[in-house]
Amino acid sequence: MEPRTAEPIALGEYLAFAGEPTAGPVCRTPDGIRLRRDAIGHRSVFYRVDANGVWFGPSLAGIAAQKPQLNLESLGSYLSCAYVPGTQTLLQGHFAVAPGTEVTVSPSGQAVTTSTWELPSTPLEWEDEAALREELRAGLEDAVRRRLPSPETSVAATVSGGVDSSLVVALVRRLHAGPLAAHSIAFGPEYPNELEFSGSVAEHLGVPHRVLQIHHTDIASSFDATIRALAEPNGDPLTVPNYLMFKEIGGGSLFNGEGGDPCFGGPKNAPMMLDLLLGEGSEAMAAGYLRAHQRMYDDRRISLKGDVFSRLSTDRLEDVIGEFLTSEKWPGLVDRLMAINVVFKGGWHILPKVESLGAEHGVTPCSPLFDRRLVELAFRIPGPLKRRGAIEKYLLKEAVRDLLPEAIIERPKSGMMVPVEPWFSGPLRGWASERLLDGLSRFDLFERRWLEDLVRGKTGGLRPRRGIKIWQLLTLESWLRAVDARVA
Amino acid sequence: MKCIYCQNDSKYSDRIGGKCPGCGKAFAFEPKNQDPLTDAAFKAAIDRVSSNEQVKWGVEHLRYEVWRLLSAKARKTRRAGWMVVGAGALLLTCAVTPLFVFAIIGGIAILVGILVISLSRRPSLEQSEFDRLYDRYTAAHGVPKTAIVRRPRQGPEPTRIAPDLLEYSFDRAVICDRARTVDLLVANQFHFENNCAILGAEGYPKHAFEIVRSMLKKNPKLEVFVLHDATVEGCALAKRLSTDPKWFGGQNLRIVDVGLRPAHAKFYPGMEVPADPAPQGVPEGGTHPEMAWLRKNKLELAVVRPDQIVKRLYRAMTNLPEPADGDNGGVSGSDVWIYGGDYGTSDGGADSFG
């Protein structure tokens, strides 16, 4: 299906059978039905087993049983992260295949998981920075080149104005002879945007710059369609803007800069270092990692009904994170965090999101910074070259310094700010209120008083982050409604 | 008196054994026995200092909150006293007429009013008295969950867990004159949210102090913020950091002083306390009038509610203007800025801090 990607996988086989019980020899081995997921997790695979056989497909909703039962343990993970990391899903008896593994379901229905790819280890020392920098540049070019269509085909790329997307569009410009357009998103003149920077990148590269203006009414009208298109619920406020961008592009390849932060020493490393140094010690670091998502990790106790809270647990999730954080496979903290980030944010969050939303509109998202070979190379770069002093993504920036304006290389990470706070305290407040107080309340999971305080802006705290929490819960409501879930 | 658990409003005679007749829970205080406040009032102070259980706080913050509460109560009493004096004066005026009895009542009223005013002078809350109240409250109701409890650090040294740590640095640092201010910021995740190291100037926290200080030196663009009490040493801290080679002396950094200064005392009337004798050799960190005030008085940062301390620091960080070229006027070494901010309206407590 995609012979130019780094790791062709037999997607066509299971995509064609998505939502159907297996009846033919697809993925059949002598031991049973084999479901395989690529190393980094570009493609999602979900499955469940019932009397009819093995149901599998790229979307959890697509294989869901009739009136499936909510898995409260995974609800805790969703609230903590805004996505569901791990092979347990939000539905009981429905599972995800982990990146870099294959699951063989025997004729008796037993599922056995085997690993097909291991995260590489990382050295602590290095000999030649220049050689590593050149190797990284070659790796970046290779990862982009292998994703390019034929030279005469038009290519699109998103550009936010940050380093990652800018370097990808610069490499595409350099390596692709055909037409290229850079696309950005803005939310109207009343909200801050990064168009000054994204525009300067496009101008520097001589690439046409197209800006998709997204209005709050677009968000409300496309919300349910977006959530239905997702592989699994994802409470990131960028889902709908991503969906609308893919819709606007309408087909072909769309390059993005996803992966730069998790793989090359992005800004989330510093809070974890500070937590290790100043917080409650290494024992509490797993909780710190979840807290760093800045979602609802600390709100679960006060937001959920008592009986629901008592039945959910993130202990297992914290154990998994704790194993990464104490592993001797990676000598430094930055390396360990990269390992967690590749697994969690790559395979369970970012890649499933862009891949499923792209597929909805016939767009092939190209995430070269999450290329398997490039990720393997990133693991060979010691932490102190990923982050030098306080400089984030040091070697990545040095590897592409000649391609971009200095102002883009030197600017601190900003991130695309979806204006959820003003939307939900302004024009979308009524819409959100109706969906949470009438819709989500129906599932009897959350304290109504807390939901009321949330939508009315009465939850306190130093950084209440109401908008992002409302978005996360709206996503949950929409998805539970779409699959007609029930809560035991 | 209301129970903080069941809200049952009971009479003294019904509170047998100091317990609520509604739910049986014990009260910590009994105003009939000369306690200065009720359990509900003490809990209200905790709710205020914690911004309704959203912010972590230290007992020193609670002490000032209770102090404010007692001051407000005394203010009300004084106001009542003045009203009685006024009424007495009015009656005396009426006594110009032959109504002699009015003159007697008026005179008595004035005496009673003066007595009430003199007995309700602005109170102070000594540390020992607060400790006694806090111990009784926690004995009855447990330690509030938002109170900062300093625990001994568990586990191995950070650099044993992560040997690469010393290679890295951070964007910002907050240096505090007191360990408890470090605890306040860390407990409220300020470091986590703002990519910001937090250290006590005198070596706190011990397990990480030298590690973090050496990490900070790896960032030539480090932004430094200083938080301190209005004391001689506190107001001189930013200057000390800018010149001491163990800190940032010889580096060309901007150091922003966000701490308390004598000018802030007017927003916390009556809460300044006598200054401690200043150690020898502390440089003057203020103007001449400031130093005159500091030699006699001090104002602790804990007088400011925790949420306001954090918000002021956050504002100072996010509103920091970009440095111009040659920003420090060509003087070699770090440059000290006093963060002004604006002074909002005060509720007699913390909202006035910038």
DSSP string, B23-91: T-PBPS--GGGT-SS-HHHHHHHHHHHTTTTTS-B-HHHHHHHHHHHHHHHHHHHHHHHHHHHHHHHHH
B184 pLDDT more than 90: yes
Alpha carbon of B5 to those of A58, B25, B39, B314: distances in Å? 52, 8, 10, 36
Say how far apart CA B171 and CA B193 lie, in whole Å: 12
pLDDT average, residue stretch B90-94: 71
Least confident of A9-23, A389-403, B39-53, B182-196: A9-23
Tens-place pLDDT, residues A406-460: 999 998 766 668 999 999 999 999 999 999 999 999 999 999 999 999 999 988 7
Q: Which of A267, A292, A387 sits opposite B192 (nearest CB)?
A: A292
**What is the predicted pLDDT for the residue at A412?**
74
B198 interaction partners in chain A (CB closer than 8 Å): 278
pLDDT average, residue stretch B165-181: 96
**What is the predicted pLDDT for the residue at A279?**
87
Any B CB within 8 A of A276 CB? yes
Q: Which of B155, B162, B191 sits opposite A283 (nearest CB)?
A: B155
**E strand or H helix at A80, and its extent?**
helix A72-81
A305 pLDDT more than 90: yes
Q: B99 vs A295, which has greater pLDDT?
A: A295
- Yes or no, beta carbons of B155 and A281 under 8 Å apart: yes
Beta-bridge partner residues of A113: A103
Q: Which of B164, B170, B218 sits opposite A331 (nearest CB)?
A: B164
Say how far apart CA A35 and CA A17 lie, in whole Å: 12
Closest Cα in chain B, distance from residue A109 (Å): 42
Residues 431-470 (A) with a CB less than 8 A from some CB of B: 460-463
Please name the amino acid found at residue B109: A
Residue A10: pLDDT band (50, 70, 90) is very low
Tens-place pLDDT, residues B230-255: 999 999 999 999 999 999 998 989 89
Give the architecture-level CATH label for domain A129-264+333-410: 3-Layer(aba) Sandwich (3.40)
Closest CA relative to residue A81, chosen from A353, A355, A456:
A353
Any B CB within 8 A of A328 CB? no
- Yes or no, beta carbons of B151 and A280 under 8 Å apart: yes
**What is the predicted pLDDT for the residue at A273?**
94
- Yes or no, beta carbons of B167 and A384 under 8 Å apart: yes
Q: Give the strand pairing for A95-96 and A46-50.
A: antiparallel
**What is the predicted pLDDT for the residue at A227?**
98
CATH of span B167-338 = 3.40.1360
Any B CB within 8 A of A295 CB? no
B95 pLDDT more than 80: no
- Yes or no, beta carbons of A331 and B151 under 8 Å apart: no
Query: In terms of C-beta density within 10 A (0-12 exposed, 13-18 middle, 19 or more buried), how is residue B128 classed?
Result: exposed
- Yes or no, beta carbons of A281 and B169 under 8 Å apart: no
Most confident of B83-92, B300-309, B336-345: B300-309
> Where do runs of H (alpha helix) occur along B195-327?
209-216, 232-235, 237-243, 288-296, 306-318
Tens-place pLDDT, residues A13-50: 343 333 334 333 236 677 778 888 889 998 898 988 88
- Yes or no, beta carbons of B170 and A390 under 8 Å apart: yes
pLDDT average, residue stretch B250-268: 92
- Here the tokens at position B126 are 């000594």
What is the signed CA dihedral for B216, B221, B226, B232, rounded to 10 degrees? 90
Domain ranges of chain A: 11-115, 129-264+333-410, 420-483
Closest Cα in chain B, distance from residue A283 (Å): 8
Residue B117: pLDDT band (50, 70, 90) is low
**What is the predicted pLDDT for the residue at A24?**
31
Chain B positions contacting chain A at CB under 8 Å are 51-52, 54-55, 151, 153-156, 158, 161-165, 167-171, 182, 186, 188-189, 191-193, 195-198, 205, 208, 211-212, 218-219, 221-222, 307, 310-311
Tens-place pLDDT, residues A356-394: 999 999 999 999 999 999 999 999 999 999 999 999 999
Least confident of A203-207, A342-346, B48-52, B78-82: B78-82
Closest Cα in chain A, distance from residue B64 (Å): 20
- Yes or no, beta carbons of B192 and A383 under 8 Å apart: no
**What is the predicted pLDDT for the residue at B325?**
43
Tens-place pLDDT, residues A47-87: 888 877 788 888 999 889 899 999 998 999 999 999 999 99
Say how far apart CA B187 and CA B214 lie, in whole Å: 23
- Yes or no, beta carbons of B55 and A388 under 8 Å apart: no
At A152 the three-state DSSP class reads coil
A164 pLDDT more than 90: yes
Q: B23 vs A462, which has greater pLDDT?
A: B23
**What is the predicted pLDDT for the residue at B121?**
61
**C-alpha triplet A257, A262, A263: angle, nearest 5°:** 85
